[in-house]
């Protein structure tokens, strides 16, 4: 009979902690039994062998490792994504040496292929490097280079294997600069330049009705898809998803009004302004392809896509919405806008972040996880300022908007509602209300994913969109 209170979950959690404390090589069933004060035999009810125990630690550690990497790369691309990924890798290896060692061990196929954490580690690695425009087979070569570099450095650092007095952090940053240069200029004609030319990828201008110039990144060929980014995003936000869609779709990714390199017009922004912007982009996409457009929005971009679909559906073939923050609107947002505007004027990044966390209702534990993942990294000042300006204008539009979900009931386009099962309230309640307002809408809810799924699991998003597009009448 299993010992009361002793579960497989408790056993694997304790084993993971002991792996860090004792070292993976010294982790045994007997060591875990001693930890609980039970006989070895009592533990074999929950784990059949030492090999099985190590496998449990590996699966558990891979999930935790993937969570840290996902937080580190969310909303980043190129050099920033590489640095975030690298720093999170190094930090996890130092904080959890035994668990980290377990993630690097080969697993039996039946274990590895069913480990969600291991699959996410692979997905995140490829997603991080897609920003460099590498194609197979050199994409796999780049993965091996990055993994060898990070693993080698972290492993040597963990055993104090660097004897030279040169500062380790200085070496680390120099190595990342060298990696970035190598990935950007990969031999044999691949890399960022080739990526911009692949699938006829190019940046172009679209002028809105009031003359605001929008920069739109266009890639791929096929039925047109417009992907609309959320707050704090930009041209890069949908890159990982677009990489999956572009072989058979022409993907348009505008940088919204207020987000460079698009124009930042003076004055207060409204959803009326941005709806006109998006209508202009949709019309350009239809004019170029001769076909109606699939419109896809994430977060704030989802709210904007709802406005656009309601205002001018004639050029649209379908609508896909990922977690529209409809709760973060109306007069209740005005005080947060005032706080943010004051902090922006003082260039107080901490106060700006606090105001945004209140608007988005991000739980304290998620905020803490982001802070831990960021560590002492200094964000790129140009990108940080660009994001701060964009957020300011988004808050202006939100404060003037309404929380009335029922107004979207007039949307008759084929609609897909997407969300992560782990996203915090009130987003789940909001998405349920939106589903009631648009009863013909289909829904996709991804287990184990949250508000950052477009960055952390782009394949899931792309596959759902591709299936939805295929089922929409021409």
**Could you report the per-residue pLDDT of 56-83, keeping only the tens digit for each?**
999 999 999 988 888 887 766 677 788 8
In the predicted model, is pLDDT for residue 195 greater than 50? no
pLDDT interval class at 401 (50, 70, 90): very high
344-371 confidence digits (pLDDT tens): 999 898 999 999 999 999 888 887 877 7
CB 189 within 8 A of CB 215: no
Q: For 402-413, how does the pLDDT look when each residue is reduced to its tens digit (9 = 90+)?
A: 999 999 999 999
Name residues whose C-beta falls within 8 Å of residue 355's C-beta, 6 or more positions apart in sequence: 336, 339, 340, 343
Using one digit for the tens of pLDDT, what is the confidence trace for 30-62?
999 899 888 888 877 788 889 999 999 999 999
Chain-centroid distance, C-alpha 398 = 23
For residue 145, what pLDDT band results from cuts at 50, 70 and 90? very high
CA distance 275 to 312: 9
Quick one: angle between helices 78-95 and 116-130, nearest 10?
Answer: 150
H or E stretch including 103? Answer: helix 97-103
Q: Is pLDDT above 50 for 133?
A: yes
Angle at which helices 271-289 and 300-311 pack, to 10 degrees?
70
3-state helix, strand, coil split of the chain in percent (to 5) is 60, 10, 30
pLDDT tens digits, 206-225: 999 999 999 999 998 899 99
Structure tokens at 72: 């580190």
Q: What is the pLDDT of residues 415-452, one digit of tens each?
A: 999 999 999 999 999 999 999 999 889 999 999 899 98
Pairing of strands 316-322, 202-207: unpaired
Q: What percent of the chain has pLDDT over 70?
A: 93
pLDDT winner (highest mean) among 161-170, 227-236, 259-268, 410-419: 410-419
What percent of the chain shows pLDDT beyond 90?
Answer: 58
pTM for the model stands at 0.65
Q: Is the pLDDT of residue 197 over 50?
A: no
Least confident range of 70-74, 146-150, 253-257: 70-74
Domains and CATH numbers, the chain: 8-184 (1.10.357.10), 201-330+399-471 (3.40.50.1820)
How much is the pLDDT for 392? 94
Of 130, 135, 246, residue with least CA distance to 190: 135
Mean pLDDT of the chain: 88
Count the neighbouring beta carbons within 10 Å of the beta carbon of residue 309: 25
Residue 376 pLDDT class (50, 70, 90 cuts): low
Whether the Cβ atoms of residue 462 and residue 470 lie closer than 8 Å to each other: no
130-144, 160-174, 185-199, range with greatest mean pLDDT: 160-174
Residue 139 has pLDDT above 90, yes or no: no
Q: Are strands 293-298 and 249-254 parallel, antiparallel or unpaired?
A: unpaired
**pLDDT top residue among 302 and 221:** 302
Task: Check pLDDT > 60 for residue 277.
Answer: yes
Per-residue confidence (pLDDT) for residue 188, from 0 to 100: 63
Looking at residue 27, its pLDDT comes to 93
How many Cα atoms within 13 Å fall on the side-chain side of residue 115?
A: 26
């Amino acid at each position: 009979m299993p010992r009361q209170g002793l579960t497989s979950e408790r056993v694997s959690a304790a084993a993971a902690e002991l792996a860090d404390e004792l070292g993976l090589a010294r982790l045994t069933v007997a060591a875990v039994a001693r930890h609980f004060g039970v006989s070895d035999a009592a533990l074999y009810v929950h784990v059949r062998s030492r090999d099985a125990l190590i496998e449990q630690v590996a699966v558990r550690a891979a999930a935790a490792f993937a969570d840290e990497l996902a937080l580190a790369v969310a909303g980043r691309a190129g050099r920033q994504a590489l640095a975030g990924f690298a720093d999170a890798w190094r930090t996890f290896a130092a904080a959890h040496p035994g668990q980290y060692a377990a993630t690097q061990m080969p697993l039996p196929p039946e274990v590895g292929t069913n480990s969600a954490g291991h699959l996410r580690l692979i997905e995140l690695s490829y997603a991080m490097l897609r920003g460099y425009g590498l194609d197979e087979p050199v994409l796999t070569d780049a993965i091996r280079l990055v993994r060898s570099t990070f693993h080698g450095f972290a492993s040597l650092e963990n055993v104090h294997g660097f004897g030279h007095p040169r500062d380790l952090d200085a070496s680390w940053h120099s190595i990342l600069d060298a990696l970035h240069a190598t990935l950007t200029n990969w031999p044999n004609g691949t890399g960022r330049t080739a990526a911009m030319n692949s699938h006829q990828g190019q940046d172009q201008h679209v002028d809105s009705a009031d003359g605001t110039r929008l920069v739109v990144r266009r890639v791929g060929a096929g039925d047109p898809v417009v992907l609309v980014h959320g707050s704090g995003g930009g041209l890069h936000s949908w890159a990982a998803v677009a990489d999956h869609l572009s072989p058979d779709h022409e993907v348009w990714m505008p940088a919204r009004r207020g987000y460079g390199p698009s124009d930042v017009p003076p004055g207060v922004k409204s959803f009326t302004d941005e709806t006109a912007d998006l209508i202009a982009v949709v019309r350009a996409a239809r004019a170029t392809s001769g076909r109606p457009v699939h419109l896809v929005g994430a977060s704030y971009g989802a709210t904007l896509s709802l406005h656009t679909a309601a205002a001018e559906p004639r050029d649209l073939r379908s609508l896909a919405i990922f977690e529209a923050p409809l709760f973060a609107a109306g007069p209740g947002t005005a005080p947060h806008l005032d706080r943010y505007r004051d902090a922006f004027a003082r260039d107080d990044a901490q106060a700006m972040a606090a105001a945004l966390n209140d608007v988005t209702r991000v739980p304290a534990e998620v905020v803490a996880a982001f802070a831990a993942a960021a560590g002492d990294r200094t964000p790129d000042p140009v990108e940080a300022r660009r994001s701060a300006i964009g957020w300011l204008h988004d808050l202006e539009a939100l404060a003037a908007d309404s929380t009335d979900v029922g107004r979207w009931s007039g949307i008759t386009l084929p609609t897909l509602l997407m969300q992560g099962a782990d996203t915090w309230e009130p987003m789940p309640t909001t998405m349920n209300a939106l589903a009631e307002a648009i009863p013909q809408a289909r829904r996709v809810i991804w287990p184990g994913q949250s508000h950052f799924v477009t960055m952390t699991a782009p394949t899931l998003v792309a596959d759902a969109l591709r299936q939805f597009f295929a089922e929409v009448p021409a």
